[in-house]
Homo-oligomer: A and B are copies of this chain.
């Protein structure tokens, strides 16, 4: 359907197959034409660089001009606002902190939709409420453009090395076109379903991750107090039904594993504040869909309490430290 809307780009005809083929053809041929990029923060910056590295001319903008310097030096063209990006590129990637920013960048007075061209492909990699993704998609569709949500898993490191995982929601016919670009920045690009399902998958994963991390921290703490050696306990859990990513890959107890934040005073990694934000999104979607999420909800509250008690910028595995008795008690 979306493809039909971009019929003006198609050379061959009206039948669905032709349209699609034509679009893909056009895009493939056009693959080194300009790509727009809005949002050059900690994540957006390395992502845009990877596009440049793959030979794509990049037209970029950010509300903070200084964020644009690095990519500008690498050859990107910097413009004043999202509308100008949309004026010059028909494939645009956005990477923004939260729902209000996305709403503003797309539908604001200088937003993408002010100058978006028919047939444009708009890919939003922000982690936001899936209902906002749906709104943006509907608004884009009215102007003949396609909006897809494609949030990422993986942090700044994965963004730099091009190893992100993208979870993509939107019309299936456009997935190939989206994947072409996203593959420059990520190792996995997974199609999740209709628009919003990329966000849904991301939110679901992070909710279960938070539950697993707090659960692992409680369990390790309890076991240690009951006289178990932490490394041995981790080994037992990992060969049993208690096994999870937080126990076998990112263990929160200092000394159990190497190369994880728990071994580095919980610095680096994925901040407690960011986890709290994602759990807030999970909570909102659960509330809106009237879905009971008792552990997810409590996990949200625990990360919220941690933020209130000074853990906002520590890695989210520091919940082990939060639950452990203070020294001197």
Contact = CB atoms under 8 A, between A and B. Distances in A.
* Majority secondary structure, A binding face: helix
A218 B298 CA distance: 12
A184 B287 CA distance: 35
Q: Name the residue among A276, A284, A297 with the largest chain B CB count within 10 angstroms.
A: A297
A241 B209 contact: yes
A303 B11 CA distance: 56
Contacts of A290: 276, 280, 304, 307, 325
This chain's copy number in the assembly: 4
Contacts of A203: 222, 226
Interface string A198-211: 00110111111101
A130 B219 CA distance: 15
A195 to B, nearest CB: 9
Interface stretch (A2-10, A37-45, A244-252, A259-267): A244-252
A237 B205 CA distance: 6
A167 interface: yes
Interface string A278-312: 00101111110111111111111110110111101
Given A167-B236, A197-B227, A236-B190, A222 B291 contact: yes
A34 interface: no
Given A197-B226, A200-B228, A283-B283, A305 B301 contact: no
A153 B226 CA distance: 19
B240 A243 contact: no
Contacts of A300: 287, 297
Contacts of A246: 241
A329 to B, nearest CB: 7
B284 A287 contact: yes
